[in-house]
Amino acid sequence: MEYYKKRTLSFSNVYVTEGYTVAGPKENDGRYKGFFDFALEDDMFAQNTFERAERKMFEHAIEGAIAKANLDEREVDAVIAGDLLNQIVSASFAAKKNHAGFLGIYNACATFVESLIIGSSMLNNGLEHVVCAAGSHFSTAERQYRYPLELGVLRSPVTQWTATGVGATVLSNRAECTLPRITRATLGRVVDYGVMDTNNMGAAMAPSACDTLVTYFRDTQTQPNDYDVIYTGDLGKLGSDILMDLTDQEGYDVSEKLHDCGASLYWDEQQTYQGGSGAACSALVFNSVLLGRMRRGEYKRILLAGTGALMSPTTSFQGDSIPAITHLVEVCI
Amino acid sequence: MAMNGEITRDNYKAYVFEKMPKSSHWKNMIWAFLIGGTICAIGQGFIFLYSIWFSTQDASVLASATLVFIAAMLTGFGVYDKIGRFAGAGSTIPITGFSNAVVSPALEFRAEGYIYGVGAKMFLVAGPVIVNGVTVSVIIALLTLLFGG
């Protein structure tokens, strides 16, 4: 692997004040049943289109996170959010409800970690409270990227299932020292190993996850064993296996520490094959599961690496391979 | 490690192919045969039924129309995609699959209205089948005309 320059940033006084999640019905039937702040009974969320449902999930998650952090909406300086839809309409439309400044961002399924990195940087530059949010919706993503919902097709065994959910995090620069802190981050770069199969996103993203993880370990002179757990976003089972082979080759054995938010979201009986995908995976698992475990002291130091596949249906039909990106944050308590 | 030697950008696709779980072709073919065969048997049943009142040719057309209608209903009730998930080609190739391919986008894009939604997107999946089907049939008809059938 080529290694040019340090891409790891350090932050001081960036506290993860609160996290809030809105999960879809299938997600709340999965392994993390009961972990979510709000679970939908119906993925339409009492709206007449799936796009409006996704938007309402964003509104609900952002409001929920601010309320849970005991803040007034007017105390928030910035909302940084993104989703998978064209022109990131879910996050942007939801932000109509906020008084805070809004940054709409897109790095596919790495969007959540991207928002945490931007938020942390802004807090280090004088802002007090920012909300970082990302999410996806199975039904809106499916029709944008693949087929109509009711079309009867055989799914490939390497496919994943786009998770329905939105996670929002309140980051603050003045808080009690008992809260988890975002201490370091590595910016991902775009890596393309020539994978063409849009069903096999885990394989497309694994080289970028390896690139970012290895860069982080080299930049910080740390080893996988220095962390309680390392969570990737949505590599799925196959992608995680590939990542282990790739990092092993670079001299870092992550097999004891590696978990994947997407792969851990569902039970095997839910027939998602390789597990969940989508911007919701890391946003749901970080805000509902990892944050709770850190506060209870089960984890002291973790890495969260959001993985994103950056293709669109247009580039895929035009015969281009799938570029991918992975952003990473270190969270300590 | 699944592959001997180093994984590089160049051999990555071969490495992934070796590592990935494969579709079970035998299982898929058996399911496709059973479901596809069942659909065809139901169609044949309708032909026999309609033959009581109509000529064989009319009975075949009516049987096809009935299958299209049933598949459209099943698509609307959200059942056809569940059959297709394991039947594969068995539920795609018969005329019922065509019905599913037209009705599913029509339902899905209803949210964008009757013109830009249903009207524009109805043939999203079936369109290429129609275009290529018509093109190939014209070519074959021309060849038949030129070289005699």
Q: Nearest CA to A277 among A225, A327, A239, A322?
A: A239
Could you give the angle at which helices B80-87 and B56-76 cross, rounded to 10 degrees?
100
Q: Enter the ipTM.
A: 0.88
Residues 185-224 of A with CB under 8 A from B: 193-195, 200, 203, 207
Euclidean distance between CA atoms B90 and B82, whole angstroms: 13
Residues of chain B with C-beta less than 8 angstroms from the C-beta of A158: 20-21
Cα-based torsion angle of the residue sequence A276, A281, A284, A289 in order, rounded to the nearest 10 degrees: 80
Residue B86: pLDDT band (50, 70, 90) is confident
Beta strands A276-277 and A161-162, pairing class: parallel
Smallest CA-to-CA distance from A199 within A236, A225, A232 is with A236
Going residue by residue through chain A (333 aa), what tens digit of pLDDT does each one get? 566 668 999 999 999 999 999 999 999 999 999 999 999 999 999 999 999 999 999 999 999 999 999 999 999 999 999 999 999 999 999 999 999 999 999 999 999 999 999 999 999 999 999 999 999 999 999 989 988 888 988 888 999 999 999 999 999 997 677 899 999 999 999 999 999 999 999 999 999 999 999 999 999 999 999 999 999 999 999 999 999 999 999 999 999 999 999 999 999 999 899 999 999 999 999 999 999 999 999 999 999 999 999 999 999 999 999 999 999 999 999
Question: Token pair for residue A318?
Answer: 């035009």
Give kind and range of the element (H or E) at residue A219.
helix A201-220
Cα–Cα distance, A184 to A13 (Å, whole number): 11
* Interchain contact, B20 vs A238, CB within 8 Å: yes
Q: What are phi and psi of A266, to 5 degrees?
A: -120, 160
For residue B75, which residues of chain A lie inside 8 Å, CB to CB?
150, 152
Q: Which residues of A touch B101 (CB under 8 A)?
A: 151
Q: Could you tell me the two tokens for A143? A: 């029709």
B7–A246 C-beta distance less than 8 A: yes
**C-alpha distances out from residue A243 to A36, A207, A209, A235, Å:** 28, 7, 7, 9
Query: Which chain B residue is nearest to residue A236, measuring alpha carbons?
Result: B20
The first and second tokens of residue A76, run together, are: 């928030």
Residue A158 touches chain B, beta carbons under 8 Å: yes
What domains lie within chain A, and their CATH numbers? Answer: 11-172 (3.40.47.40), 181-332 (3.40.47.40)
Measured distance CA(A5)–CA(A248) in Å, rounded: 21
Instruction: List the single residue in A with minimal CA-CA distance to B12.
Output: A193
3-class DSSP state of A140: helix
What SS3 class is residue A153? coil
CA–CA min distance B48, chain A (Å): 28
Q: Give the whole-angstrom CA distance, residue A143 versus residue A84.
A: 12
Phi, psi of A178 (to 5 degrees): -80, -5
B39 touches chain A (CB under 8 A): no
Cβ atoms A49, A88 nearer than 8 A: no
In chain B, residues with a C-beta closer than 8 Å to the C-beta of A148 are 104-105, 107-109, 124-125
Buried b (16+ CB within 10 A) or exposed e, A242-270: bbbbbbebbebebeebbebbbbbbbeeeb
A136 within 8 A of A24, measured Cβ to Cβ:
no
- How far is residue A199's CA from residue A183's CA, in Å, rounded to a whole number? 35
For residue A8, count CB atoms less than 10 angstroms from its CB and return exposed for 0-12, middle for 13-18, buried for 19 or more.
middle
Check A51 against B111: CB less than 8 A apart: yes
